[in-house]
Chains A and B, each alone.
Chain A
Amino acid sequence: MSARNQTPLIAVLVVLIIVAGVGGYLAGSSAAPTKTVTTTVTQSATVTMTKTVTTTVTVTPQPKKLKAAWVYVGPIGDYGWSHAHDVARRYVEQLFRDWLVTGYVESVEEPKVYDVIKKLIDEGYEVIFTTSFGFMDGTLKAAKEYPNVIFFHCSGYKRWDNMGTYFADLYQLYYLNGLMAGALTKSGKVGYVAAHPIPEVIRHINAFALGVKEVNPSAKVYVVWIHAWYDPPKARAAAESLIAQGVDVLAFTEDSPTVVEVAQEYTSRGKPVYAFAHYSPMLKYGPDAVVSGQLVRWEAIYADILAKIYSGAYNTTNLRNVDYWWLLSEGAVDLGADFGVPINPKFIPVLKNITVTERITGEKMSVYDVVMLRLNQMKDPRPAFDPFCAVSEPILTQDGKVLVRPGQCLTHDDLWNMMVFVDNVVGSIPAG
């Protein structure tokens, strides 16, 4: 036994100490504890939301404080779904700072949601938002067990006396994106990188395809499934394979800016590929490639729900029929490559130069004007337009069946159950 045998012992100790030190430092510096009110929020990604929080405890105490907790399926830094919910949580916490206390739990595996909810109730939370479809059963189980706590589940369909549901859907924006995609494609091939084959994603693909068809009847939408909500490598592979097939405009459902980055790479290499941002503002990831996109404002829904709970309009007995299905007209979603940038200024002249026939009035107008017309029609409190309403011609499915008859519209339940593609989509819906 010689001196060289010291190495493992010392190495192990050194490694452990380094791991502990570095880990502590990183964890301490990267994420601020949620309970400290005086923390300055400095995430540059969310410009409109960030306000330096300098409030100390108000001198005149409110009679009642409300404690609300959010349960996320992903990390708050995913730059997609969970991130958007957390932006909204911080917004309402600031908005209702006199009476609202919030907390969150990130990266909760779906089967563990019931365990997590119980712990939150133990900590005194009275309102619990669960933000993944897979949280549905666990949330319902907890709602039945804790009748004095209010639950709101995002994207599900099961409700209870003390459990409501809510969703902000993007299909109108996908349709608007489709109008621009149809106008911009030169190859007549538009791509869609899709997450999971569930009605929500299929509805978005169809809305996008209907937009494409409206301005470019011969163009096709090519779909590639990646079977994941968050998988940058697969999203990249899918985007590249679509481009290799001749696609020159991309839309997607995936919780990262990967597809936008791919489009930007091709565009800066002199082979223009355009993309539409999904869920979060992604203009900065593709300043030359992002045309527009879909943005969500969960804070519209959260503010409404929390205000109604605080005022007593919602209580633990009357939520059985409370289902938010909020769209453009309620301000829960918005068109844009970034907040305040509905269309990337680089593409506005191009879109203004392309003239099409507006299909309802038959008027000749630029694509830009059509997009703005439709946007305003759908933003109206009583929307004058819906992509899933057939006007003079029926909306057909891939195999030529009539999906929507002229003069009719799909109902909320039709949209929720949608499992067929419209006729200008190329690709199939796997299994089922």
Chain B
Amino acid sequence: MPEVRLLRRYEVSNKLRIATYIVSFILGVILFILVEIAYGADFNDILFKLFIKPITSYEDLKVTLRYFIPVGITSLGLLITYRAGIYSIGAEGQLVLGSIFVAWVAYSFASLEKPISIVMALLAGVLGGVMWALIPGVLKGFLNVNEVLTTLMLNFVAYSLTDYLIYGPWRSPKSFNFPLTEPLNESYIIPTYMGVSIIGIAIMISLIVIINVIIKYTSIGYEIRAYGYNPAAAYAAGISPRKVALLTFILSGALAGLAGALQLTTVHYRLGPKPWSVSESLGYTSIIAAWLSRLEPLAILPASMLLAMLINGGLNIKASLGQPEGIVNLMNGIILITLVATEFVLNYRVVIKLR
């Protein structure tokens, strides 16, 4: 019997880290291909529709990018709270509130002209996200209420609030009483260039750079990281848990709200007919993107790109290959679980001794 020993790794080089991700990703894809072969599909077709078409066909690339932007911005915000050891899953609700605030501004100040209208809309989105994030932030900072519960539950409150608005006061009189709001005025719609929201991508990339600097090179970033490593030690060193909780929630809420504003102003233009029809549940997808990035701001780019590709690839599997929803769920499950599971290799060194 060979003896297998596991040794804890304390430092992992970036090279090994990246290599592990690539290998585990390929492993996940192979496992999924096995599933597809068992299902009776042609795996060349699958690989093409899943990984090549989403970035090579221009029509497909547009779809990939449309998910890339909100996932990137929202996961960047979540990353900040996770760096502080605060496990917010409330980006979904903050995103929804951002879109509600934008809609409110757009309906209340319908006569504003571009570019003021756009700036107002984006600020309103940020404000909505921040306000929704401050509820768990204050509860956490002042009363030490568990943020996992509060953020999760507030997501459903945000859905219900949307429902109230689209079934109630904001229901469009022209919609035959269906639950829809009026579409936004032309002045509140952010233009795209050849179907791609250049503004959205520019905002996302500059935010990634800014957050990277804040986290790594400022005293605020230091406090956030220190609190995340060891709250007790950080407290002893004079770092205020209150400040960390409020700050991280404000930042992540601002980013999620901004993503909500972009969703409404570049993609959907109106609320309804389902409470998640603006958020598209991307607030939850962003949690996965944040953890896949290993809480490294620059790695948000590949992580959210991967998830955007998987969303688009999933649609390809259903629409282009005519496969059922179950296959798509299997694909997401297998590929993401393999990616997370191989984390093990980064924490332990496997030593096999032949005796």
Interface residues of A (CB under 8 A from B): 1, 3, 5-6, 8-9, 12, 16-17, 19-21, 23-28, 30-31, 33-35, 69, 75-76, 103-112, 115-116, 118-120, 122-123, 133-134, 137, 157, 196-199, 227, 416-419, 430-432
Contacts and interface: CB of A to CB of B under 8 A. Distances in A.
Contacts of A430: 167
Most A C-beta atoms less than 10 A away, residue of B31, B34, B318, B341:
B318
Top 8 A-B pairs ranked by shortest CB distance?
A24-B38, A431-B168, A24-B35, A119-B319, A107-B325, A5-B6, A431-B167, A28-B39
Contact of B63 (A5, A24, A31, A118): A118
A110 B168 CA distance: 21
Given A27-B35, A75-B325, A111-B267, 8 more contacts: A1-B5, A27-B39, A30-B326, A104-B322, A109-B276, A133-B273, A199-B176, A431-B167
Interface string B130-158: 00000000000000000000000000000
Contacts of B337: 16, 19
Nearest to A135: B273
B220 to A, nearest CB: 36
Given A24-B35, A227-B163, A419 B322 contact: no
B35 A416 contact: no
A419 B167 CA distance: 11
Nearest to B263: A111
17 contacts: A3-B4, A9-B4, A9-B6, A16-B338, A20-B31, A30-B326, A76-B324, A103-B322, A105-B319, A107-B318, A115-B315, A123-B319, A123-B320, A134-B273, A197-B167, A432-B168, A432-B177
Nearest to A28: B39
B341 A16 contact: yes
Given A115-B63, A417-B176, A430-B167, A23 B35 contact: yes
B20 to A, nearest CB: 14
Contact of A27 (B5, B38, B179, B276): B38
Contact of A33 (B34, B40, B326): B40
Nearest to A12: B341
A38 to B, nearest CB: 13
A20 B32 CA distance: 7
Nearest to A145: B195
Given A24-B36, A116-B319, A119-B316, A199 B178 contact: yes
Nearest to A118: B59
B171 interface: yes
A76 B164 CA distance: 30
Nearest to A76: B324
B322 A27 contact: no
A110 B279 CA distance: 11
Given A16-B31, A112-B280, A106 B37 contact: no
Interface of B: 3-7, 31-32, 34-41, 57, 59-60, 63, 66, 163-164, 167-169, 171, 176-179, 267-270, 272-274, 276-278, 280-281, 312, 315-316, 318-320, 322-327, 330, 333-334, 337-338, 341, 344, 348, 350
B34 A24 contact: yes
A39 to B, nearest CB: 11
A430 B160 CA distance: 13
B324 A27 contact: yes
Contact of B273 (A20, A35, A110, A122): A110
A17 to B, nearest CB: 8
Most A C-beta atoms less than 10 A away, residue of B36, B269, B341:
B341
Contact of A24 (B39, B169, B269, B324): B39
Given A20-B35, A197-B167, A227-B163, A8 B344 contact: yes
A19 B38 contact: no
B274 A120 contact: no
Contacts of B32: 20
A100 B279 CA distance: 37
Most B C-beta atoms less than 10 A away, residue of A6, A23, A103, A104:
A23
A301 B29 CA distance: 42
Most B C-beta atoms less than 10 A away, residue of A27, A31, A430:
A27
Nearest to B7: A1
B319 A31 contact: no
Nearest to A73: B274
Contacts of A1: 5-7
B179 A196 contact: yes
B9 to A, nearest CB: 12
A138 B210 CA distance: 35
B277 to A, nearest CB: 5
Contacts of A110: 273-274, 277
A122 B59 contact: yes
A9 B344 contact: yes
Most B C-beta atoms less than 10 A away, residue of A8, A20, A25, A157:
A20
Given A24-B39, A27-B38, A106 B168 contact: no
B274 A34 contact: no
Nearest to A4: B6
A108 B315 CA distance: 8
A119 B315 contact: yes
A131 to B, nearest CB: 14
A246 B288 CA distance: 48
Contacts of A419: 177
Given A110-B277, A118-B63, A25 B38 contact: yes
A145 to B, nearest CB: 10
A115 B62 CA distance: 9
B270 A137 contact: yes
A99 B268 CA distance: 37
B37 A157 contact: no
A31 B324 contact: yes
Given A6-B4, A9-B350, A199 B319 contact: no
B313 to A, nearest CB: 11
B277 A111 contact: yes
A33 B177 contact: no
B260 to A, nearest CB: 13
B280 A34 contact: no
Contacts of A16: 31, 334, 337-338, 341
B308 to A, nearest CB: 11
A16 B330 CA distance: 11
Contacts of B330: 23, 27
Nearest to B167: A431
Contact of B344 (A12, A26, A417, A431): A12
Contact of B315 (A8, A27, A112): A112
A126 to B, nearest CB: 15
B324 A106 contact: yes
Contacts of A107: 318, 325
A26 B179 CA distance: 38
Contacts of B66: 115
